[in-house]
Structure 1
């Protein structure tokens, strides 16, 4: 497969006023390897109910500036925090796949629809253009969220293993695991570093590679080094692109 047909999609998660300095560091790291604005930002309207974007005009201006330079802006939940009670498979995901941040895993259809619509309206007003799509916190979607997603008019959605057009999840636009890191415990950090090291050669045959970073990543030099190594490895054979390229 020619290099021109191979795509690298990079995203910064949890973009919110409370993480401005961390987002800056991540953006600088990505810019240094891929060139300016060759990534997406996942914006949280009110991170954990403590960082309302609507009340942060200076950060709003920065988001608009990034968007004008070509950074894709996704809606990333509303609070990011999971306030639902879970049972069965959802309970397992809530306990083991995130630390209380799978906001859309247990929401009803009505609640998911309201938060998606409100987030879309707010972020589009801030950046002055349509949102690139919706990505649930921790990449976790419950039945209510999946139903609402198909009704909200988002061009794209993503989970751990695929990217799809809402309403057409049976026809993924890209498949394969997203490479990400965990900073909240020594054990999780070690396992994420090991997975990234394996992924750098093992995932090269995929047409589309995805890499996601979080504000907490910059707190550990080992993760910063791994992110940089993975960006270098992936960009050798894959061209940094945009999520929108998948549907254009």
Structure 2
């Protein structure tokens, strides 16, 4: 294996978003054997409960058979807790995103939701080592809850974090904001800059979202970037990388 690696991470994987990713996944397969890290939401926005979608579960099981990793990605992927008066919280939970499900939860609430999500994975016999909070937002309650579970890692935009000791492994993530034209232009420039700076990093993560798939410029950037990185890096899942680097 090369000393450096790249991980392709698909966020918000759920019954309604998986078809959106299909064309991109086929394009990645055309580049060679590239294991994907799939961030799976157990009940996306309360309309994607996994027990109601056997075809989706079968698709994930086929991906596991190909070497992909499944990661628990929140539970509902929507922040429905009441807002307080803290202006910083308001900015994070209403301006930055409305998806930060695990940011306002206390330890008891976070632990209960995490346990239900893990129980689903275990019921379907899906291996799981990681948890990623929606929008990478975790409050103190979630951080405390994660230390009480058998999960091996979580992550944020800057890196992977080993659990339960919260030891950081630097691994920057490229990500697009694709919801408006000016955001897409800014994302292109920012990701090119981040890619140049990240060339020396042992692991680079490409973090894709379903909305990216609606914009040809974003899809083209991801595929061209991945093809270039594969010439000099080994493709791995996040958990493969953490196992490899000890």
Q: 1:24 to 1:108 in 2, by over 3 A?
A: same
Superposed CA deviations along residues 38-86 of structure 1, whole A, max 9, x for unmatched, are: 1110000111111111211111111111112211000000000111225
Asked whether the 8 Å contact 1:10–1:39 carries over to 2, the reply is yes
Asked whether the 8 Å contact 1:45–1:54 carries over to 2, the reply is no
- Separation in structure 2 between the aligned mates of residue 15 and residue 198 of structure 1, nearest angstrom: 27
Superposed CA deviations along residues 16-53 of structure 1, whole A, max 9, x for unmatched, are: 001121121232232233x2451110000111111111
Residue 109 of structure 1 corresponds to which residue in structure 2?
107
Normalising by structure 1, we get a TM-score of 0.90
Residue 199 of structure 1 corresponds to which residue in structure 2?
194
* Aligned ranges 1:31-42 → 2 under 5 Å: 31-33=29-31, 35-42=32-39
Q: Is 1:133 the counterpart of 2:142 in the alignment?
A: no
Superposed CA deviations along residues 213-247 of structure 1, whole A, max 9, x for unmatched, are: 11111101111111112212322322111222313
Superposed CA deviations along residues 77-126 of structure 1, whole A, max 9, x for unmatched, are: 0000111225243333224432x111111111111111111111112322
Residue 236 of structure 1 corresponds to which residue in structure 2?
231
Asked whether the 8 Å contact 1:37–1:69 carries over to 2, the reply is no
Backbone CA RMSD of aligned residues = 1.7
Secondary structure of the residue aligned to 2:102 is coil
Residue 243 of structure 2 corresponds to which residue in structure 1?
247
Q: Which runs of no fewer than 5 residues in structure 2 stay unpaired?
A: none
Normalising by structure 2, we get a TM-score of 0.91
Secondary structure of the residue aligned to 2:231 is helix
Asked whether the 8 Å contact 1:204–1:234 carries over to 2, the reply is no
Runs ≥4 residues deviating over 4 A: none
Q: 1:37 to 1:115 in 2, by over 3 A?
A: farther
- Separation in structure 1 between the aligned mates of residue 146 and residue 181 of structure 2, nearest angstrom: 35
Residue 82 of structure 1 corresponds to which residue in structure 2?
79
- Separation in structure 1 between the aligned mates of residue 89 and residue 159 of structure 2, nearest angstrom: 19
Q: Which runs of no fewer than 5 residues in structure 1 stay unpaired?
A: none
Superposed CA deviations along residues 145-193 of structure 1, whole A, max 9, x for unmatched, are: 1111111211111111110112222x21x21431011222222222211
> How many pairs align?
241
Secondary structure of the residue aligned to 2:174 is coil
